[in-house]
Amino acid sequence: MAYNSLKSYWVWRRKKEAEEKAWRELGVDENIIAELRDFDRIAYNSDDRFYKRLYDVGDFYEEIVEDNSQREIMTVEQLLD
């Protein structure tokens, strides 16, 4: 299954907007909220790059590695091979 970057972003963004709303209701200073937003965005971008590359390597690996699973031997010729 491939990594869906856009879906991941929308889920993350919805969660962060809810957090910011809760912080504002609790009276947290806007400067602190802005710093947290910047930190969270940096962390999200790092995770996003990791997952994009992780799934790219998995697809590449499956294309290169040959299937070495043992086949069922039905004839003498197959046994000798």
Tens-digit pLDDT profile for residues 17-75: 999 999 999 999 999 999 999 999 999 999 998 888 876 665 555 566 566 667 777 78
Quickly count: other Cβ atoms within 10 Å of residue 10's Cβ. 11
Quickly count: other Cβ atoms within 10 Å of residue 40's Cβ. 15
Helix (H, G, I), strand (E, B) or coil at 42: helix
Q: Cβ distance 36 to 21 under 8 Å?
A: no
Average pLDDT (76-80) is 79
